[in-house]
Amino acid sequence: MENPNIPDFAMKNLIILFFVFFIVSSCQKIEINSFAFQASIEDIFFKADLAEANYIENEDYFVLQGKNSDEIITLRGTNLVEGVNIDFGEGSENFAVYQDTYGVIYSTVVSGGEGRMKINEISSEDQTLTGEFNFKAISSSLDTIKVKRGVFYKVPFGNEIENDNPGVFSAELNGGMFLPLNTYAIDNGTNLSIKGVINLDEIILVIPTDALPGVYELPQEGFSARVSDGADTEDAINGEINILSFDTSAKIITGTFQFQTPTNTVNAGQFNVTYQ
């Protein structure tokens, strides 16, 4: 039976308002439960389209990354504990890295770099991290960027039992620091492939398994080096790989490298890795 005190048009409006409230409430709930990773970079708003974190249990550190189509922010910290400040700076095993739209890398490990991150919540049920960060990072050409009011909310994370990185691999790529988050060294029976990966960039060296310590010019048979940015891969057109030691029993190789591709310059490269 209709309520005689409420006109039809008023009843229709109440029904419409109810559905509007229901839709708005649902949208708000979806927004709250979605992940977020954002910051102010030199007073320009940065928002990640993708964000994820990985925790390496046996070495007790985690890597958190947010990226969009143009920029990437990577945070690394030890001791995954709620409410603890994690400081960045030169000489620290904790660091922040920012890669801009031109591929230039800014890092807190360079002299003058600094910052801080804090995990505010670790949800073991949802497997997510929530926290905040800010940092000042320096490029190899000593340009500086400041990242302020950084926050990450309900970023999903996974656990890894052990770190697959086999050792040290670093270089300068087009004037920027190249400090891989992941390094791989694999013996396929004929060649040894050593690869460093940070964000979308990769530097790859190929060395014959029967090579002796010494300097090898690039390119030459059995030896190669290349750079990949995720879309294109370029081989070295000149340069050298200097093998300092190659212990096939312990499966450890050390050395330095530098080379050029048609559009990339790699300098001050070094590696000290254990291969599989």
* pTM, full prediction: 0.57
Determine, yes or no, domain membership for 23.
no
Look at the chain and report how many structural domains it folds into. 2
pLDDT 10s digits, 11-41: 444 444 444 343 333 333 333 448 899 999 9
Same-domain status, 134 and 68:
yes
Q: Which of 103, 131, 160 is the last residue of a domain?
A: 160
**Cα gap 188→59, rounded to integer Å:** 28
Q: What is the domain range of residue 68?
A: 36-160
Which of 101, 73, 78, 80 lies closest to 88 in space, CA to CA? 78
pLDDT, position 259:
94
Same domain, residue pair 183 and 114: no
Q: What is the tens place of the pLDDT at every residue in 161-203?
A: 444 556 778 888 887 767 777 788 999 889 999 998 877 789 9
Asked if the structure places residue 12 within a domain, the reply is no
Residues 153, 173 within the same domain: no
pLDDT of residue 160: 55
**How confident is the model over 197-214, as pLDDT tens digits?**
877 789 999 999 999 999
2 falls within a domain: no
Same domain flag for 139 and 45: yes
Q: Is residue 3 part of a domain?
A: no
Is 207 a member of any domain?
Answer: yes
CA angle, residues 148, 150, 153, in degrees to nearest 5:
170
Q: Please say whether the beta carbons of 135 and 106 come within 8 A.
A: no
